[in-house]
Structure 1
Amino acid sequence: MRSDKYESTRRSLESLRKLFTKKFAENETVNHASHKIVTKLVEREKPFTDGAFIKYCILEAVNYLCPEKVNLFTGRSLSPSSVVRKVEELGANVKQQIRDKVKNFLWYSLALDESTDVSSTSQLLIFIRGVDTKLNITEELVSVCSMHGTAIGEDIFKEVQKTLQDYNLQWNQLRCVTVDGRKNMAEVMKGLVGQIHKQLEDLQLPKRLVIHCIIHQQALCGKDLDVSCVLKPVTAVVNFIRSHGLNHRQFQGFFEDIDSDFSDLPYHTAVRWLSCGRVLSRFYKLRREIEQFLIEKNRADPQLSDLA
């Protein structure tokens, strides 16, 4: 009787343990899935309010495909506040991973870029590049600082100091600083460069290498390199397709008829220096389709058919 009682109690405890373990594993899986959804929302730059709509779509699909598992999804919230909280958790996790890598840095360098966004708020981006004892190189965006007041060199330096303290980086490990061409960044007296030199002087450390505008080296090279012989005819074709509503609709319909993965051409904007490369790259990939479309529009371009 004692043995039977022991076996029944053991089986009961084992079944309860499996029940709780299974429930915990299911909750962990669903929680992981919700973080994956939030990650995709952030990657695609979608509004946080889309989380509720995605949950609605998932519930509709689960109710149709496997209704017995609908309870796994009903208890998980993808409301805007929940999405914000999960984004903060993901951000904190990324920061912790960077902190773990920074601990092993021998030397590091900084790259900074400051510009004003559409809401007239100054945004400072701080990138770090470090090398550890095993010569592993880490490059990360470590901080995005929104400066709502002034954005002089002293203000930018304070944000840099906060970032270095946040990641426990020391000034004696700094080897290089890269900045853009604005006075508040590159000026050697009151700009960020001057503030960094002053800080190093106070710590009795030698000046570090300062590189100017290397972040925008492609833009600088693009200004000196004359590609007008290629860009002008390409821009003329793009404008012919995009600037006329009928042509644009017919162009998109043309790609639907041939089942192409591409459906449109981007504009070239001189202000955005990366747009030139994007336009030329997309145009080159679609050059045969564009040539066929122009022939149908009785506007054949001999340069497209010239194999030389």
Structure 2
Amino acid sequence: SLLIAKQKEPHTIGETLVKPCMVEAARLVLDQKCVNKLNQISLSDNTVKQRIDDMSQDIKLQVPETIRLSPFFDIQLDEPTNVAQLPQLLVYARFISENQVEEEFLFCSPLITTTKAEDVMNMVSNFFQEEKLSRAKLIGVCTDGAPSMLGSKSGFVTLVKKKNPDVITTHCLIHCEALASKTLPAALKVTLETVIRIVNHIKGGALNTRLLRQLCQDMDSAHQDLLFYTYVRWLSKGNVIARVFELFDELQVFLAAQGKKTDISC
């Protein structure tokens, strides 16, 4: 059940695929006695669901208990919106457990009405109260998402500091990095444009894509495809350039075979 949950597969796969594979392997490698024992294992979808629910409930009890035993902890909050246009409050916690720093998912709860800082604060406070988490041990808060997190007068960070003035607050730096990368120096801009042209030349045609994939397979490359550049995605620039760098030798060979300019070292 744990492996099925980790792979995000349908619960029915245990009964329709996993168990038959185990039984067939035991029949070929071991003996009929082992086959009979494996046939006694229940892997129906209801059984898998129940086991996953039991593990989830156990984790839900263990994490707050571990945080209560930790000398201090910090939390990270995000406020994404799902496909149903319903905002969700995601909270992660970092704490000390057995002399090691651990990070676990704390809770997820929908924001049914508004997404104001007061709503976020009430939800976090209610969870702390229900799980008996000491606010005095909270030493750090990292926020992400809407401006309601950072408002100077009524933001979530401000509300936290009113109750715990010594808490250290940070905000996600990806927003700042994304804005800074929109205005590149001339030299970096030329490099990015060159990379984008190469990617579009290869990814823009099915034939070039197949040829590059086959070349990467023949050269035992770590990757077999390039990544498309998307202007609106925060991390697209870095991911695209990193993949081109990792396939640098393969791209040199590919472009040379097509008679294209191979000086992509800029």
Shorter-chain TM-score range: 0.7 to 0.9
Contact 1:174–1:208, Cα closer than 8 Å, also in 2: no
- Unaligned stretches of 5+ in structure 2? none
Counterpart residue number, 2:110: 146
Counterpart residue number, 2:142: 178
Structure 2: distance between partners of 1:221 and 1:240 = 28
Label 1:153 to 1:174 Cα distance change in 2 as closer, same or farther (>3 A): same
Label 1:272 to 1:165 Cα distance change in 2 as closer, same or farther (>3 A): farther
Q: Percent identity?
A: 26
* 2:133 counterpart (169, 173, 179): 169
Question: TM-score scaled by structure 2?
Answer: 0.81
* 2:179 counterpart (215, 220, 223): 223
Deviations 1:104-136, CA, capped at 9 Å, x for gaps: 22222222111112332212221223357x864
Label 1:187 to 1:222 Cα distance change in 2 as closer, same or farther (>3 A): closer
Query: Runs of at least 4 residues of structure 1 off by over 6 A?
Result: none
Q: Which has the higher helix share?
A: 1
Where 1:116 maps in the other structure, the secondary structure is coil
Structure 2: distance between partners of 1:71 and 1:285 = 50
Contact 2:143–2:149, Cα closer than 8 Å, also in 1: yes
The within-5 A match list for 1:74-223 is 74-131=39-96, 136-180=100-144, 182-197=146-161, 200=163, 206-209=164-167, 211-213=169-171, 215=172, 217-223=173-179
Structure 2: distance between partners of 1:241 and 1:83 = 44
Between the two structures, name the one with larger relative contact order (CA 8 Å, sep ≥ 6). 2
Structure 2: distance between partners of 1:55 and 1:175 = 48
Where 2:94 maps in the other structure, the secondary structure is strand
Structure 1: distance between partners of 2:8 and 2:136 = 38
Deviations 1:245-282, CA, capped at 9 Å, x for gaps: 22112222223333444222222323332333322222
Count of aligned positions = 259
* 2:209 counterpart (239, 248, 258): 248
Larger Rg: 1
1:71 maps to a residue whose letter is N
* 1:232 counterpart (190, 193, 216): 193
Where 2:241 maps in the other structure, the secondary structure is helix
Structure 2: distance between partners of 1:131 and 1:113 = 22
Structure 1: distance between partners of 2:47 and 2:136 = 41
Counterpart residue number, 2:251: 290
The within-5 A match list for 1:46-57 is 46-51=9-14, 52-57=16-21
